[in-house]
Copies of this chain bind each other. A is one copy, B any other.
Amino acid sequence: MKVTISDVARLAGVSTATVSHTINSTRYVSSDTKEKVYQAIAQLGYTPDASARSFRTGKKKTVGFIVPDISNKFFGTLIESAENYLSAKGYHLIIANTKENMDREETNLRLLTAGLVDGLLIASTMDDFQRLDNLIPAGFPVVLIDRTFDTPKYPSVSVSCFQPIYRSVCCLAGQGKRRIGIIGGLPRLSTTKERVAAYRAAVADCGLPQDEALIRYGDSMEDSAPPCLNQLLEQGCDAILVCQGLMASVTIAYLRGQGIRLGQDLELVSFVDYDTHAYEFYYSQVDRIIQPVEKLGRTAGEQILLRVEQPDAPVQERVLTSVYRPRGEESV
């Protein structure tokens, strides 16, 4: 049978209150009594029941994370980094995967906001802020991560890539490239919109021809890069930006497989989802845009706990910056 706090109290010859206070250091207990309590706990092999505790206190010590694609390394690293922070603070992480499907996101939101978690990290795949907003109970602690909306109703942590993309396009133009293509993620996402906007701005400012055929959208899953790529090659592109890490790494492998020489036949600007030196050589012939994934995850962890503790603190919108690293340049 399950050992409860009363069993411990009985064996130790004290009240349940004292046992509870001893365990939680929540009021003074004489060292004699403490001793007896710990003795009893050890003897019975008692472990406080987490679900009774969270029922009673209303705190679950658990945060939910709604992710578009766990198998994608970008989100894998994000989760790792958030989990790392949260577990250090005594919190657990519940993962829900949407596979970029809005209905799955809706289902998960309903389930997770029903008393399962203290707060929610959301990398939303919704196209419509209203739909998301309607699913979140008033006052429920939420932090939007990576993907945001125009309305600053919820705190958010995201990465801006405007600057590096703008610069990379200008550099390519400066090298004489005229037909610069871009592959973005799902068009409805804020990240995609910002990236394409940066591209358009640079194309306009550099006086390059504006051609909608040079803008392609994938879905950030592995199989979606090659078709986009082929379309851009047919358009006679002399440079291509791939604005998402997974599609970018597939692109590099694909082009190499085709015998297309990067940095010679074609210039490539590639998003990179991690900050490691292990792949240095893999990217030696391409320009990179590097997002601070780990920092994103950690900041999200900080923000959600802050939110859980003070649900009505002022809404913060944190924007981290990504860096442009032309090929050949030293990595930091």
Contact = CB atoms under 8 A, between A and B. Distances in A.
A71 B70 contact: no
Contacts of A236: none
Interface string A51-89: 110110010101000000111110111011001100100
Given A92-B94, A94-B93, A225-B278, A114 B48 contact: yes
Contacts of A281: 253-254, 256-258
A257 B279 CA distance: 10
A257 B282 contact: yes
Contacts of A96: 83, 87, 92-93
A49 B115 contact: yes
A190 B107 CA distance: 38
A284 interface: yes
A47 interface: yes
A281 B258 CA distance: 8
Contacts of A49: 114-115
Nearest to A277: B223
Nearest to A116: B50
Contacts of A97: 80, 83-84, 87
Interface of A: 47-52, 54-55, 58, 60, 62, 69-73, 75-77, 79-80, 83-84, 87, 92-97, 108, 111-116, 137, 222-223, 225-226, 250, 253-254, 256-258, 274, 276-282, 284
24 contacts: A47-B113, A50-B114, A50-B115, A50-B116, A51-B60, A51-B115, A69-B80, A70-B80, A70-B83, A71-B80, A79-B95, A84-B97, A87-B96, A87-B97, A92-B112, A93-B95, A93-B96, A94-B94, A94-B95, A222-B278, A225-B278, A226-B278, A254-B281, A256-B282
